[in-house]
Amino acid sequence: PPLESRIDKFDLAVGSVAEFLRSAWEELRDVSFHIGEMPPDSDPETGIPRYTVHRDERRIVLYRLPIQRLGHLHRDDEFHRRMVIEGAVFRAAAEYLDRDPWDLGPERFRYF
Protein backbone atom coordinates (compact mmCIF):
# COMPACT_ATOMS: atom_id res chain seq x y z
CA PRO A 1 0.00 0.00 0.00
CA PRO A 2 1.15 3.59 -0.57
CA LEU A 3 2.70 5.55 2.26
CA GLU A 4 -0.15 7.56 3.74
CA SER A 5 0.54 8.22 7.41
CA ARG A 6 2.31 11.32 8.66
CA ILE A 7 4.99 9.12 10.20
CA ASP A 8 5.66 7.34 6.89
CA LYS A 9 5.76 10.62 4.97
CA PHE A 10 8.13 12.10 7.54
CA ASP A 11 10.45 9.09 7.31
CA LEU A 12 10.43 9.24 3.52
CA ALA A 13 11.18 12.98 3.45
CA VAL A 14 14.06 12.67 5.93
CA GLY A 15 15.48 9.66 4.09
CA SER A 16 15.40 11.29 0.67
CA VAL A 17 17.06 14.52 1.88
CA ALA A 18 19.65 12.55 3.87
CA GLU A 19 20.56 10.56 0.74
CA PHE A 20 20.82 13.76 -1.31
CA LEU A 21 23.13 15.32 1.29
CA ARG A 22 25.26 12.19 1.61
CA SER A 23 25.74 12.09 -2.15
CA ALA A 24 26.63 15.79 -2.30
CA TRP A 25 28.89 16.05 0.76
CA GLU A 26 31.64 13.52 1.42
CA GLU A 27 31.76 14.58 5.08
CA LEU A 28 28.20 13.27 5.53
CA ARG A 29 28.66 9.86 3.87
CA ASP A 30 29.28 8.06 7.16
CA VAL A 31 26.82 10.13 9.21
CA SER A 32 23.64 8.34 10.26
CA PHE A 33 20.34 10.20 10.35
CA HIS A 34 17.94 8.97 13.03
CA ILE A 35 14.36 9.91 13.80
CA GLY A 36 13.11 10.35 17.33
CA GLU A 37 9.65 11.28 18.52
CA MET A 38 10.62 13.96 21.06
CA PRO A 39 13.91 15.29 22.42
CA PRO A 40 14.89 13.87 25.81
CA ASP A 41 14.87 17.35 27.35
CA SER A 42 14.39 20.97 26.43
CA ASP A 43 15.57 24.30 27.76
CA PRO A 44 12.90 26.93 28.49
CA GLU A 45 15.38 29.58 27.29
CA THR A 46 15.95 28.05 23.84
CA GLY A 47 12.71 26.11 23.36
CA ILE A 48 12.13 22.60 22.08
CA PRO A 49 14.91 21.40 19.76
CA ARG A 50 13.99 20.08 16.32
CA TYR A 51 17.20 18.04 16.04
CA THR A 52 20.38 17.11 17.89
CA VAL A 53 23.82 16.82 16.31
CA HIS A 54 26.28 14.28 17.75
CA ARG A 55 29.55 14.91 15.90
CA ASP A 56 31.56 12.50 18.04
CA GLU A 57 29.09 9.69 17.19
CA ARG A 58 28.68 10.79 13.54
CA ARG A 59 24.93 10.95 14.11
CA ILE A 60 22.08 13.40 13.62
CA VAL A 61 18.73 12.89 15.37
CA LEU A 62 15.64 14.66 14.01
CA TYR A 63 12.60 14.92 16.29
CA ARG A 64 9.40 14.27 14.40
CA LEU A 65 6.80 15.80 16.71
CA PRO A 66 8.44 19.23 17.17
CA ILE A 67 9.21 19.48 13.45
CA GLN A 68 5.69 18.53 12.42
CA ARG A 69 3.73 20.37 15.08
CA LEU A 70 5.81 23.47 15.73
CA GLY A 71 6.69 24.31 12.15
CA HIS A 72 5.23 27.58 10.93
CA LEU A 73 3.34 26.91 7.72
CA HIS A 74 1.98 29.81 5.74
CA ARG A 75 -0.01 27.29 3.72
CA ASP A 76 -1.10 23.95 5.22
CA ASP A 77 -0.58 21.50 2.37
CA GLU A 78 1.66 18.51 1.59
CA PHE A 79 4.28 20.58 -0.24
CA HIS A 80 4.78 23.03 2.62
CA ARG A 81 4.75 20.30 5.28
CA ARG A 82 7.52 18.51 3.36
CA MET A 83 9.49 21.75 3.03
CA VAL A 84 9.44 22.17 6.82
CA ILE A 85 10.84 18.64 7.22
CA GLU A 86 13.47 19.13 4.53
CA GLY A 87 14.48 22.46 6.04
CA ALA A 88 15.09 20.82 9.41
CA VAL A 89 17.29 18.14 7.81
CA PHE A 90 19.29 20.80 5.94
CA ARG A 91 19.72 22.89 9.11
CA ALA A 92 20.85 19.85 11.12
CA ALA A 93 23.35 18.79 8.45
CA ALA A 94 24.61 22.37 8.15
CA GLU A 95 25.19 22.52 11.90
CA TYR A 96 27.06 19.21 11.71
CA LEU A 97 29.29 20.61 8.94
CA ASP A 98 29.48 24.08 10.53
CA ARG A 99 28.17 25.67 7.32
CA ASP A 100 25.18 27.70 6.22
CA PRO A 101 22.19 25.53 5.16
CA TRP A 102 22.00 27.35 1.80
CA ASP A 103 25.55 26.18 1.03
CA LEU A 104 24.51 22.53 1.14
CA GLY A 105 22.26 22.44 -1.88
CA PRO A 106 22.24 25.70 -3.81
CA GLU A 107 21.06 24.01 -7.02
CA ARG A 108 18.11 22.46 -5.18
CA PHE A 109 16.71 25.94 -4.41
CA ARG A 110 17.65 27.76 -7.60
CA TYR A 111 14.04 28.09 -8.77
CA PHE A 112 12.61 29.50 -5.51
Question: For the chain, percent helix, then strand, then coil, each to nearest 5?
Answer: 55, 15, 30
What is the predicted pLDDT for the residue at 2? Answer: 65
Provide the pLDDT confidence category of residue 111 given band limits of 50, 70 and 90: very low
In angstroms, the CA 37 to CA 20 distance is: 23
What does the pLDDT read at residue 26?
A: 94
- Residue type present at position 43: D
Note the pLDDT tens digit of each residue in 9-63: 999 999 999 999 999 999 999 999 999 999 988 777 888 999 999 999 999 999 9
Task: Answer left, alpha or beta for residue 96, where phi above 0 means left and psi between -120 and 50 means alpha.
Answer: alpha
Q: Is 59 helix (H, G, I), strand (E, B) or coil?
A: strand
Buried b (16+ CB within 10 A) or exposed e, 43-57: eeeeebbbbbbeeee
Q: Indicate the pTM of the whole model.
A: 0.88
